[in-house]
């Protein structure tokens, strides 16, 4: 639990509820501070920690919508054992979702109990999804800033083709341009392309579509072993996660994952901007192109200059 990358206040909150230290009405009743311990959310049972964060029908609906598995047999477990088993058996992304959900459920419960708010499942689910997206964004910024500044593009191993992707976004026009470049173990350009996407409604979509097109590009060129690289941490984490994605780019993430079966080997790797300059430059060049543009064993001069410098760099090492 303590290793999950969420705000410290959320980790402390989950620790408190795991120990039963929260001031639920059941705990307050045992201390003689209240007479009625009925759950203020569902009004069907006493508000114990286990009830509020696992058994309450309001909570169950939220966790089910977030694809956090639950069953009646699981709910028969003692609370602490259930919680320990969950963190032991599930991947970090699902554990992070549960921790943020617990925090949001407690905040929502306090609004209902102290302010007389009406329970609203969709409002809580939307808050959790938004917080998850913000958490991933901040994590990506932190990871990029803490990475060494001198990380450069590295050639792939053996017969693997490395495909780098990036995207530019013209928000006023709702247009994005994907820049994609494929190189071999010698750093030589195999192919490159600029591809436009129209009607882009959110800033999260451009790099997601660019990632999908990078995989499609590799498939159409007949590559069987590829490594897909980009500087979009949220996208890379999304396509490599085993759980179902619930973000606003979930359809694109799923499309990328579905295409993975078409390759003998495919990996995804997050790199900082300094190791993704060719794709970034291509994406910027894309603003000059209205239609898709493809190159075989070459690229625009600005991109070829970067490729040549990078080849000289790793050949010296």
Alpha-carbon gap, residue 229 to 240, rounded angstroms = 12
Q: pLDDT tens across 138-197, in order?
A: 666 555 555 565 789 999 988 999 999 999 998 888 899 999 999 999 999 999 999 999
Q: pLDDT tens across 21-46, in order?
A: 999 999 999 999 999 999 999 999 99
The side-by-side arrangement of strands in the sheet containing 161-170 is 265-270, 225-230, 161-170, 175-183, 189-197, 293-296
Instruction: Please name each of the domains of the chain with its CATH number.
Output: 8-146 (no CATH), 161-316 (3.30.420.10)
Binning pLDDT at 50, 70 and 90, where does residue 201 land? confident
Instruction: Looking at the chain, list the stretches that DSSP marks H as alpha helix, in order from N- to C-terminal side.
Output: 8-19, 25-30, 49-50, 57-65, 79-89, 92-115, 121-146, 205-220, 233-240, 250-259, 277-285, 301-316
Place of tokens 């006493």: 46
Q: pLDDT tens across 111-130, in order?
A: 999 989 888 888 898 888 87
Sign of CA dihedral 49, 51, 52, 54: positive
Q: pLDDT tens across 39-74, in order?
A: 999 999 999 999 999 999 999 999 988 888 665 546
Q: In this structure, what token pair is assigned to residue 159?
A: 């017969």
Alpha-carbon gap, residue 15 to 2, rounded angstroms = 9
């Amino acid at each position: 639990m303590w290793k999950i990358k969420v705000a410290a206040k959320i980790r402390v909150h989950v620790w408190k509820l795991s120990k039963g230290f929260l001031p639920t009405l059941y705990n307050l009743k045992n201390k003689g501070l209240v007479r009625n311990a009925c759950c203020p959310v569902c009004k069907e049972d006493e508000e114990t920690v286990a009830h509020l964060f696992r058994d309450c029908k309001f909570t169950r609906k939220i966790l089910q919508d977030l694809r956090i598995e639950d069953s009646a047999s699981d709910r028969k477990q003692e609370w602490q054992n259930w919680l320990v088993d969950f963190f032991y058996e599930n991947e970090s992304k699902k554990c992070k979702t549960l921790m943020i959900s617990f925090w949001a459920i407690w905040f929502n419960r306090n609004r209902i109990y102290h302010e007389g708010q009406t329970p609203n499942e969709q409002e809580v689910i939307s808050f959790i999804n938004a917080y998850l997206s913000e958490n991933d964004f901040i994590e990506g910024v932190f990871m990029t800033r803490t990475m060494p500044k001198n990380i450069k593009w590295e050639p792939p191993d053996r017969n693997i083709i490395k495909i780098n992707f990036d995207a530019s976004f013209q928000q006023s026009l709702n247009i994005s341009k994907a820049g994609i470049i494929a190189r071999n173990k010698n750093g030589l350009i195999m192919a490159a392309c600029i591809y436009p996407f129209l009607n882009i409604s959110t800033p999260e979509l451009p790099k997601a579509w660019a990632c999908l097109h990078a995989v499609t590009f590799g498939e159409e060129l007949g590559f069987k072993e590829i490594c897909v690289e980009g500087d979009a941490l949220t996208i890379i984490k999304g396509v490599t996660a085993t759980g179902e994605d619930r973000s606003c780019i979930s359809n694109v993430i799923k499309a990328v994952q579905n295409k993975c079966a078409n390759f003998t080997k495919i990996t995804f790797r997050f790199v900082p901007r300094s190791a993704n300059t060719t794709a970034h430059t291509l994406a910027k060049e894309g603003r000059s192109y209205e239609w898709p543009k493809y190159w075989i064993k070459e690229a625009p001069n600005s991109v070829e200059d970067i490729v040549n410098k990078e080849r000289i760099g790793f050949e010296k090492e």
